[in-house]
Structure formats: C-alpha cells, structure tokens
Chains A and B, each alone.
Chain A
Amino acid sequence: MRRKSLMDRVRLMGRAAIDIVAVLGRSGIFLVHALLGRGGIGGGFQLLVRQLYSVGVMSLAIIVVSGVFIGMVLSLQGFSILAKYGSEQAVGQMVALTLLRELGPVVTALLFAGRAGSALTAEIGNMKSTEQLSSLEMIGVDPLKYIVAPRLWAGFISLPLLAMIFSVVGIWGGSWVAVDWLGVYEGSFWANMQNSVSFSDDVLNGVIKSVVFAFVVTWIAVFQGYDCEPTSEGISRATTKTVVYASLAVLGLDFILTALMFGDF
C-alpha cells in the first residue's frame, strides 16, 4: 500500500467534504425539479394512484401487525411498572401518549424506510441501470415528472396516514391487553387517556412529525435510486444507503422536533 503524505490526506478530506456538499446540492435541485418542474405530476392521477397502492396499501400489513404488538408490549410493560405504585389505571394515558408523540411517527417511518423506501430505491436504480430512464428522455418524456414525482407524492401522502393507523391500532392493542387481559377498569383506562391527551398538543404534533419524516424518507429513497451507480453493485449500495441514511435522519430529526414541540423552551 502506498504511503500517503500529510498533504494527500488533507486533500482527500477536502474532496470528501466537497463531495458531500455536491450531493446535497444535487439532491436539492432534484427535489425542486421533481416537485415544481413543468406542471406537477405527469400522467395525472393514474400514476399517483398506482404508486399510492404499491407504497401505501402494500405497507399496511406490516404497519398494522407491528402496531398491535408494540401497543400490547407497551401496555404490558407499563402495567407491571405502574402496578408497583398502585396507579395501573394510568396505563391508558401512558400507551396513548407514547404512541402519539414518539413511537407512532418514528417506528412507522423506520418501517416505511425498510419496506417502501428500499423498494423505491431499487426500482428506480434498476430503471437507471437498464437505461429505461435515458430512453424515456430520448423519446421526450421527462423521467422526473413521470417516474419520480408520483413516487415522491405517494410517499408524502401515505406515511402520515400509516402513522395514524399505527397509533390507533397500537392503542387498540394496548387496551386489549390492559382491559381484557390484565383487568384494568375500562372506564378509567379511556377517561385517563382522554383527560391527558390533547388534540392540538399531542395528536397534531405527532402528525406534523410524521409529515416531516415522510418528506425526508421519501426524498432520500427516491434520490438514492436516481443518483446510484447504474450497476447491480451500485443499486445494492444505494438501497443500503437509503435504509441507513433514512433511519439516521428520522432518529436525529425526531430529537430536534421533540425538543421544539415538547421541550418547553
């Protein structure tokens, strides 16, 4: 292995930084073009519906199943801890607040990045490597408009809906464990929940979080596919990058959003 001089290392670091900035810029321009370029979604409603189906409806199963189980586990854990203080009727408010504020948006976004984001990256990457994107351009069709924009919008629309479904299903799973299995009185379970959950503070802030996550995850997924090296190795690397970057971005943004929304400063 060739030894690198100090100058070489500094130069490499600089090049890496410039590369990062260039990718950021490229993805920003890509997003603006895809969303605002030449009259919105091409092919209109039909393409969007098809993407909503493959991105949103097909993710329902994993979201619902994980929602039920996470709600049940939360309820079980919360009950065993709260029972030590004799306040097990507060388990309803604990499950609802945890799901609405944090777990609903975050876990849905993580699952969405794995289930739908990786598929988007691989699909677009494959289109690029088989030169479908360049042939579309050859016949005068803008791939940003017909391929990318419908997928972006489908992601923006489906993730918030999925997050809300996740929370509802999780609360139902929690109530099933707490009320029907562990014997918490049903009236105090729901009354405690309704007393402590506020629509504008908890429900709407959770929805805002999931909208932000939807934007970031879909953007990363579609851009990674569009920007990948057009080889099979490049596609696999881009898919990995999508899941890793999207998960890190969701978790980091979640901290910032939580600090802004619930931090009281």
Chain B
Amino acid sequence: MQNRTLETGVGLFLLAGILALLLLALRVSGLTASATNDSYKLYAYFDNSAGLTVRAKVTMAGVTIGKVTAIDLDRDTFTGRVTMEVQKGVNNLPIDSTASILTAGLLGEKYIGISVGGDDKLLKDGSTIHDTQSALVLEDLIGKFLMNTVSKDAK
C-alpha cells in the first residue's frame, strides 16, 4: 500500500515534468509541428531593412500570414534581400503587391506588411515582390527635419 502511493507520486511528478516541457514548447516558444510544409517562399529587396529580424511576422490587413526566415545582403545591388514564408492558404496575392517594413507602436518590433495589388498574375513560390518600402529610420527622419529647419533659417 505504501509502495503504491509512492509510485503514484513519482508518476505524477514525471508527468508534471513532461507536461511542463510541452507547455514550454507550445505555449511559450510557440512551436508548431506543421509550420514547415504548408508555406511558400517569397523574396523582397529593400533599400534598408534596419531593425527587421528573422522570425518577424508578415501581415496583410493586420492578419499574420507568415514570417521572415532569412535576411541577407544582395551583393550586386547592395540591397537587403528578405526571404519570407507565407502560408499556402494565402496563394492569391497579385504580382504587383507591395511589401513595406512597418513598426508595431513607436518603439515596437519591426514587421512586414503586404498591401494587395491589382494585377491578374499571382505571386508563386520563389517569386519576388518588386514594389517595396524600406524601414523608417528615426535618425534619417531627424536628419531631414534638422536640414529643413537649417535651410529655413538660412533664407
């Protein structure tokens, strides 16, 4: 009898440990088992992709439809090439859609917003979004603002 409660206690303990690992995997790190297969790749070239990170979300109309999987420099054009994986369910994006790097809140994380175009042709696996809008860099804005005030003073 004593042994029985002991074994049940240890069994519950082991179960709690495994449950904890599952919770950490699914709830905390957002690991999903079937995330790799049902998506297709899109590329976009940005003049400036500052602040964008791998695993940033790709949204359309505020709905997350994919994520960024790689960011690297294109050696020929000196632009940042962003690789995105978009859910297979969203396979009707027109070829002239626009990708822009947006910021969540004033200081929040960067993400990619896709606004839909009007062309009949659709983006396929591996195709490139040509119409892009770069990240907003705060220093550039401040620089422009300062230049403006200086040139006004000079007049």
Chain A positions near chain B (C-beta within 8 angstroms): 46, 49-50, 52-53, 56-57, 60, 85-87, 89, 96, 100, 158, 160-162, 164-165, 167-168, 171, 190, 192-195, 197-199, 202-203, 207
Contacts and interface: CB of A to CB of B under 8 A. Distances in A.
Given A198-B55, A202-B29, A168 B10 contact: no
B17 A87 contact: no
Contacts of B106: 86
B7 A161 contact: no
B29 A167 contact: no
B24 A168 contact: yes
A40 B21 CA distance: 27
A58 B53 CA distance: 43
29 contacts: A49-B10, A50-B6, A52-B10, A53-B6, A53-B9, A53-B13, A56-B10, A57-B10, A85-B107, A100-B24, A100-B28, A158-B13, A161-B13, A161-B18, A162-B17, A164-B20, A164-B24, A167-B28, A168-B23, A190-B27, A192-B109, A194-B29, A195-B30, A195-B109, A198-B55, A199-B25, A203-B21, A203-B28, A207-B21
B90 interface: no
A217 B32 CA distance: 34
Interface of B: 3, 6-7, 9-10, 12-14, 16-18, 20-21, 23-25, 27-31, 55-57, 105-109
A84 to B, nearest CB: 11
A136 to B, nearest CB: 22
A203 B18 CA distance: 13
A194 B55 CA distance: 10
A52 B28 contact: no
A203 B55 contact: no
Contacts of B31: 199
Q: Which of B12, B17, B25, B106 gathers the greatest number of chain A CB atoms within 10 Å?
A: B17
